[in-house]
Every structure is written in structure tokens, then in C-alpha cells.
């Protein structure tokens, strides 16, 4: 198992299907997983720090586990078969089968680590090159020096 983190949630164009992208902690591979819109929204809410006015399903799951004295120790993406991904949630040493999107949404809420099976990463992982530090530094410098006036359209004479 390799530890992964949520790299982001995107809309895969042109189909308009949400995609969860996980990235190896100590590597360059990413794991794209197509997910449902509700799960994408749930994951994005956590990533953006948004708090819904009422608990959503994954918030409820986290609250129930805590109220019952249980702990999510990890989430694992265990298999992929014919394009379908499989995951388990480790709760107090017991494994509960789950969809990867639900497992990740829960892991983000409770701070549990996320892992992907090496065979899954080998089979369907994609290389995600790390941004070069010099490019990141140039972009930061640009952001530090840009002003709204820099985007005004030139006036025709």
C-alpha cells in the first residue's frame, strides 16, 4: 500500500463527469477515479473548508462513528476491475467495504490516512509531474506584482 492524498476534484471534459484525483505522497503517480456529483461536492466542501448548515451524509457518518466510540484508522483503495474501483474503511481494525468516493470523503472529515494498493497504482495510475520550483516562484512573483489595472483593455485611438 502506498499513501496518497487528495490532489483535487475536477470535472472531466467533455463528458462533464466529476473525477477525484489522488496522488502518491512519495511519488509521481496519480490515481484518477470517476465519481458521482454528490460525492465530488462532499469532497470539495472539505477541501475548501466549507461547513454546510446541516450535516451532510459523510458528516453524519463521521459523527455517528465518533458518538459510538469508533475510530476510522485508514481508508484503502484496494482494487479496480473493469473500471470500477473498490475500497475499504478500516474501523477499529475491522474492514468495511465502501465506494472510494465515500471512503475518501469520510477520511477527509476524520483525518484518516488514505492508501492505494500498489497493483492499482501500477495498473491505472498516471504520471503527474511535480511543478518545477522555478516556475512556481515566477508565478508567485507575478502574483505579488500584478494589479487589476494590468488587465484593463488597451484603448483604441
Q: Which CATH number fits domain 2-146: 3.30.70.890, 3.40.190.10, 3.90.1150.10, 3.10.690.10?
A: 3.10.690.10
Per-residue pLDDT of 71-86, as tens digits, reads 999 999 999 999 899 9
Q: Which residues of 11-28 are buried (b: 16+ CB within 10 A; e: fewer)?
A: eeeeeeebbbbbbbeeee
pLDDT at 20: 93
Cα angle 51-53-58, degrees, rounded to a multiple of 5: 60
pLDDT band at 4 (very low <50, low <70, confident <90, very high): very high
Q: Which has more pLDDT, 126 or 155? A: 126
Residue 143 or 127, more confident: 127
The mean per-residue pLDDT over the stretch 124-142 comes to 74
pLDDT, tens digit, for every residue of 6-28? 998 988 777 788 999 999 998 88
The β-bridge relationship of strands 17-24 and 29-34 is antiparallel
Question: Domain limits of the chain?
Answer: 2-146
pTM: 0.79
String of b and e for 82-113 (b: at least 16 CB within 10 Å)? eeebbbbbbbeeeeeebbbbbbbbbbbbbebb
User: How does pLDDT run across 17-68, given as a tens digit for each residue?
Assistant: 899 999 999 888 999 999 998 899 899 989 988 888 888 899 899 999 999 9
| Lookup: cell for 33 | 477515479
Amino acid at each position: 500500500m502506498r499513501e496518497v492524498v487528495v490532489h483535487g476534484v475536477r470535472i472531466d471534459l467533455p463528458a462533464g463527469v466529476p473525477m477525484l484525483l489522488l496522488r502518491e505522497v512519495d511519488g509521481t503517480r496519480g490515481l484518477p477515479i470517476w465519481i458521482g456529483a454528490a460525492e465530488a461536492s462532499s469532497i470539495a466542501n472539505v477541501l475548501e473548508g466549507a461547513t454546510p448548515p446541516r450535516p451532510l451524509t459523510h458528516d453524519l457518518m463521521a459523527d455517528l462513528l465518533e458518538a459510538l466510540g469508533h475510530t476510522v484508522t485508514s481508508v484503502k483503495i484496494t482494487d479496480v476491475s473493469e473500471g470500477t474501483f473498490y475500497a475499504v474503511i478500516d474501523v477499529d481494525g475491522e474492514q468495511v467495504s465502501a465506494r472510494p468516493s465515500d471512503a475518501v470523503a469520510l477520511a477527509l472529515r476524520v483525518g484518516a490516512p488514505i492508501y492505494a494498493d500498489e497493483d492499482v497504482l501500477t495498473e491505472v495510475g498516471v504520471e503527474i509531474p511535480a511543478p518545477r520550483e522555478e516556475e512556481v516562484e515566477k508565478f508567485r512573483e507575478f502574483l505579488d506584482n500584478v494589479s487589476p489595472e494590468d488587465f484593463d483593455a488597451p484603448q483604441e485611438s
